[in-house]
Amino acid sequence: MKVTVAGAGYVGLVTSACLAELGHQVTCIDIQKEKIDLLQCGRSPIYEPGLEPLLEKNLRNGQLHFTTNPHKAYSDAGIIFIAVGTPETHDGSADLKYIHVVAHTIANYIEQDVIVCTKSTVPVGTNELIQQIIDSRKPPNLQVEVVANPEFLREGAAILDFFHGDRIVIGTNHPEVAALMEQFYLPLNIPIIKTDIRSAEMIKYAANAFLATKISFINEIANICEHVGANIDEVAYGIGQDKRIGQHFLKAGVGYGGSCFPKDTKALVQIGGNFKQRFELLEAVINVNNRQQSLPVLKAMDTIGSLHGKKVALLGLAFKADTDDVRESAALTIVKELLEAGADVSAYDPIAIPKARKIVGDAIGYTEEIRQALQDADLAIIATDWEQIKHLPLEVYLTHMKNPIVIDGRNCYSLQEIKQFPITYLSVGRPGHPIVNDKFE
């Protein structure tokens, strides 16, 4: 099947590479020429484990092509996937300008009947709008069916999620189109859920909102644990054993970040608001998350007082491990607050430095060596749970820092381990070390 993917962002690239791997002839189109030039050489503009080898392999064997030319991309496509960005506007709603451009371009360039599947996260009703745009411009003899087909790929695990996802959602009001898409996805052997278009659109927002809610919930429980002397690791395990709750997304930390949860939660609040349906629970989830991102610096100030002139090692810049993405990363909130407090920040990250530097500039120091970041530091804050940080021998904090004080926003170390070292250690939702409140000693 000749497949075209519009957008060479993280969803578009992963979708293109994986569909080529499944044996389809895939053309990925993007308007950014530099990106396409890079991709044509088999190099990925994003860091995603396993992606580059898939791109290289499928370029080499002729299954995958990159282009900026809409005629090449759309004229003979049997299925077109829309995977362009839907960034946040000033009021939190999704900006659909790239969707509009792609819909117009598809209508102008198609030369045969085609199914258009939207992978981008779009507000309810958008796929019907895409259908209208295309129908109003396409050659009248051609038939186009727009399908809502949201993606559930996690950055850092996107290839795995593509081939082993929990479900595939196909939203269309036409059973024959649903059957064709079901056939298309059959080789993946993933459960398929067929719905109407609007329900499919809503499933994506509801899924991300629910996962974000789990995270803010566990962070709130963690904050109470700190006061009552309980341990969030034990509590999360204890509630997660209940199958109705489940173990996933119960890891307390510095709050969620990334290009999806912050944007999609705000967009859903906005969608509800459009119908005078205030989504108070999700508003609270967002507020809790904003507060959570500020806790490490508050804890730092509680521990050493003023941060003015203090050297702070910030371990991790990416919004989570295994990605170079820093969008809405808690680490960037921490950087901002540390700079406002007059601290001198030295940040470590194994791969996200170039992307962080584009946003933060030279206001902080950067290093790919953890030890260098820790050298002579008065304080360390852990913002990302990179394996390199989790496996750092604890002696290093003692040998390199001026004062071994660690604020761990990701609970990277076990309390058992920490107890063996004279390190002042504060994590999320667990007793500190040494325990300062003698009530719990």
Q: What is the DSSP letter of 2?
A: E
Q: Which two tokens stand for residue 250?
A: 């119960």
Binding status of residue 319 toward ligand UGA by CB under 6 A = yes
Say whether 117 is catalytic.
no
Judged by beta carbon, residue 179 or residue 193, the one nearer ligand UGA is 193
For residue 226, give the nearest of 409, 428, 434 by alpha carbon: 428
Binding status of residue 253 toward ligand UGA by CB under 6 A = yes
Using CB under 6 A as the criterion, what x/- string covers residues 87-126 for binding ligand UGA?
----------------------------------x-----
Residues between 6 and 25 with contacts to ligand UGA, criterion CB under 6 A:
none
Exposed, middle or buried, 41 (CB in 10 Å: 0-12/13-18/19+)?
A: exposed
Residue 170 corresponds to which amino acid?
Answer: I
# residues near ligand UGA by CB under 6 A: 20
Return the residue of 155, 226, 322, 408 that touches ligand UGA, per CB under 6 A: 155
Q: What is the DSSP letter of 88?
A: B
Return the residue of 217, 249, 279, 421 that touches ligand UGA, per CB under 6 A: 249
Return the residue of 89, 104, 137, 152 that touches ligand UGA, per CB under 6 A: 152
Find all residues with CB under 8 Å of 203, minimum gap 6, and list them: 150, 169, 171, 193, 195
Binding status of residue 256 toward ligand UGA by CB under 6 A = yes
Whether the Cβ atoms of residue 315 and residue 346 lie closer than 8 Å to each other: no
Binding status of residue 201 toward ligand UGA by CB under 6 A = no
Residues between 258 and 277 with contacts to ligand UGA, criterion CB under 6 A:
258, 260-261
Q: How many residues does the chain have?
A: 441
Rg (CA), the chain: 24
143: how many CB neighbours lie within 10 A of its CB? 11
In Å, how far from its chain's centre is CA 209?
A: 13
Task: Give the range of 149-157, 346-354, 357-365, 400-408 binding ligand UGA by CB under 6 A.
Answer: 149-157
Binding status of residue 151 toward ligand UGA by CB under 6 A = yes
Find all residues with CB under 8 Å of 109, minimum gap 6, and list them: 70, 71, 73, 74, 75
Judged by beta carbon, residue 63 or residue 323, the one nearer ligand UGA is 323
Binding status of residue 250 toward ligand UGA by CB under 6 A = yes
Active site residues: 260
